[in-house]
Amino acid sequence: MVFLDLADTLQMMPADTFSLSVKGPFADTVPTDSHNLVLQAAIQLAERSPASQPVQITLDKQIPVAAGLGGGSADAAAMLRTLAKYWHYDDPETLMELAVVLGADVPVCMASRSTWVGGMGESLLGHPVLPPLALLLVNPRTPVATATIFKQGFTQFRAPSIAFPSSFDTINTLCDYLAETSNDLTRNACLHTPVIGEVLGAIAALPGVRLSRMSGSGATCFGLFTSPEARDHAYTALKSSYPDWWILPANTVD
């Protein structure tokens, strides 16, 4: 897992009851009831914290929903970290246990740094040092539910015995390593949402791209580029060819 300079924003104020409102370009598709991970995180932590008090939460949703980018998980982790500080709740073990309950990607989002992840998501296996990476994120504005992709099963599941390096010196070293791996959800996602294959092909054809791959269970795909300049040129070209797609330059952060 790696983290990018793309983010949602959470704001909160003391209130009489817990509530959530959502704004931003992807607000229309975000639930504001108990189905939202942010509200779940707040209420479940409140049940464990003696100093808790209700808060009114506002979520500015900049990350596409059901896009394979872990936006909801990152939001839930941010809520846990913020309320733990606000309520002076100092029990890291319980926080991580709650993170696992909320979702498979929430534990790694608690640290928000490059991490090898195993198990269901609860096993954090080390933090590799990566070079700065210039990415292009591309989503055809088609939501894909993770559960739907997993339920299709795996007919070509690949579980190679690979090492987990502690660092990568250059983007070329990283991409050479990644070339020996795969996202085993890609086949299912492409069968369910064929436009994902078109997205991957469009990214792979861009000048300066070193790797084209789907993120999570889709539909967002990404390209890794040799430099930010190559990425920016590719962004302009792809945006011109596919004006209806959500396309965003992004950079890794730790």
43 pLDDT tier (thresholds 50, 70, 90) = very high
What's the pLDDT at 25? Answer: 95
CATH number (domain holding residue 177): 3.30.70.890
Q: Confirm whether 124 is domain-assigned.
A: no
Q: Is the pLDDT of residue 6 over 90?
A: yes
Q: How far apart are the first and last CA of the chain?
A: 11
- Contact between residue 246 and residue 138 where contact means Cβ atoms under 8 Å apart: yes
Looking at the structure, do residues 142 and 171 belong to the same domain, yes or no?
yes
Pairing of strands 55-60, 123-124: unpaired
What's the pLDDT at 151? Answer: 86
Looking at the structure, do residues 106 and 18 belong to the same domain, yes or no?
yes
What's the pLDDT at 156? Answer: 61
Three-class DSSP category at 153: coil
% the chain with pLDDT above 90: 88
Looking at the structure, do residues 157 and 239 belong to the same domain, yes or no?
yes
Looking at the structure, do residues 141 and 105 belong to the same domain, yes or no?
no
158 pLDDT tier (thresholds 50, 70, 90) = low
Looking at the structure, do residues 62 and 144 belong to the same domain, yes or no?
no
Which residues span the domain enclosing 169? 134-253
Q: Confirm whether 129 is domain-assigned.
A: no
What's the pLDDT at 230? Answer: 97
The region of weakest confidence among 50-54, 83-87, 129-133, 150-154 is 150-154
59 pLDDT tier (thresholds 50, 70, 90) = very high
Looking at the structure, do residues 142 and 221 belong to the same domain, yes or no?
yes
DSSP H or E stretch at residue 196:
helix 195-204
Beta strands in the chain (DSSP E): 3-4, 9-14, 19-23, 55-60, 117-118, 123-124, 134-139, 209-214, 221-225, 246-253
Q: Confirm whether 125 is domain-assigned.
A: no
Entry pTM: 0.93
Burial of 207 (0-12, 13-18, 19+ CB in 10 A): exposed
| C-alpha span between 145 and 153 (Å, rounded) | 14
- For the chain, what is the domain count? 2
Three-class DSSP category at 146: helix
Length of the chain: 254
22 pLDDT tier (thresholds 50, 70, 90) = very high
Q: Is the pLDDT of residue 160 over 70?
A: no
Looking at the structure, do residues 114 and 138 belong to the same domain, yes or no?
no
What's the pLDDT at 159? Answer: 59
